[in-house]
Amino acid sequence: MNGMPVSERMRDLVNLAGRVLLAFLFLAGALQKVVDPAPVAQMIGWLGLPGWLVWPVALFDLAAAVGLVLGPGVALWAVVMAGYCIFTSWFHWQLRADPWQVTIVVKNWSIAGGLLVLAAAGPGR
């Protein structure tokens, strides 16, 4: 901010806002899987895995959302979810079928980057 020191309180508030926004992504993912599990079950099936795995994945998304906001272990949740974003981007690498999915890959990798920054910075006070 133009060389001006940022107060610890402001840093903590911005950190919390970032954690809430990141968590919202995983909360929305959990809700989407619960409301309409078929698309995710189909993606899981492409790997030869059973479609019922959509339910533990939805629970994992929900736990991650809560963990990123409330902790404990915000930094650990951030690292785990960064890996999750990188891993799940593989499902979206469909250049020929749907080029728009490549944008989702890029977004997933960018979100992973933000999560790694959070892991390095920690949850604040």
Using CB atoms within 10 A of its CB, is residue 35 exposed (0-12), middle (13-18) or buried (19+)?
exposed
| Residue 40 confidence (pLDDT) | 87
Contacts with 70 (C-beta within 8 Å, 6 or more apart), sequence order:
none
pLDDT reading at 95 higher than 90: no
| Residue 123 confidence (pLDDT) | 86
Could you read off the pLDDT of 29-69 as tens digits, one per residue? 999 999 999 988 988 887 788 999 999 999 999 999 999 99
CA distance 13 to 7: 10
What are the extents of the domains in the chain? 8-121
pLDDT reading at 83 higher than 60: yes
| Residue 118 confidence (pLDDT) | 93
Name the residue type at position 28: A
Could you read off the pLDDT of 84-94 as tens digits, one per residue? 999 888 777 66
| Residue 96 confidence (pLDDT) | 62
